[in-house]
Chains A and B, each alone.
Chain A
Amino acid sequence: MPAPGVEFDEAFVARLRAGDERAFRDLVTALHGSLQRLARAYSRDDSVIEEAVQETWVGVFRGIAAFEGRSPLRSWIFSILVNQAKKLAVRAHTRAQREPALDDLAEGDPLAGAFFEDGHWREPPSPWDPQDPETAFLTAEAQEVIVAALESLPESQRRVVLLRDVEGMGSEEVCNILGITGTNERVLLHRGRVRVRQALDAYLRGTPPAPPAPRRERSRTS
Chain B
Amino acid sequence: MMNCEQVAHAASDYLEHRLGFSARFAFRFHLLMCGACRAWVEQVRHARAALRSLQPPPAEAPQVEAVLGALRRERARGDSPPNEP
Contact = CB atoms under 8 A, between A and B. Distances in A.
A124 B57 CA distance: 36
Given A17-B81, A190-B11, A150 B51 contact: yes
A128 to B, nearest CB: 7
B4 A119 contact: yes
B67 A137 contact: no
Contacts of B35: 124, 127
A134 B12 contact: no
Interface in B48-85: 48-59, 63-64, 66-68, 70-71, 74-75, 80-84
A209 B51 CA distance: 17
Interface string A152-184: 000000000100011010010000000000000
A57 B71 contact: yes
Q: How large is the interface on B (under 10, 10 to 19, 20 to 34, 35 or more residues)?
A: 35 or more
B2 to A, nearest CB: 9
A120 B3 contact: yes
Contacts of A165: 48, 51-52
Interface string A19-47: 10100110011111110110000000000
Nearest to B12: A190
Interface residues of A, number: 63
In terms of DSSP, what is the predominant structure of the interface of chain B? helix
B46 A137 contact: yes
Given A1-B52, A111-B9, A28 B39 contact: no
A147 interface: yes
Contacts of B49: 134, 137
B6 interface: yes
Interface string B4-39: 111011011100101000000000000000011111
13 contacts: A19-B81, A31-B59, A32-B63, A61-B82, A121-B4, A125-B39, A134-B50, A137-B50, A165-B48, A168-B52, A196-B50, A197-B47, A200-B46
The 8 closest A-B pairs by CB, nearest first: A119-B3, A124-B36, A33-B57, A65-B83, A32-B59, A165-B51, A190-B12, A197-B47
Interface of A: 1, 3-4, 16-19, 21, 24-25, 28-34, 36-37, 54, 57-58, 61-66, 111, 114-115, 118-121, 124-128, 133-134, 137-138, 142-143, 146-147, 150, 161, 165-166, 168, 171, 186, 189-190, 193-194, 196-197, 200-201
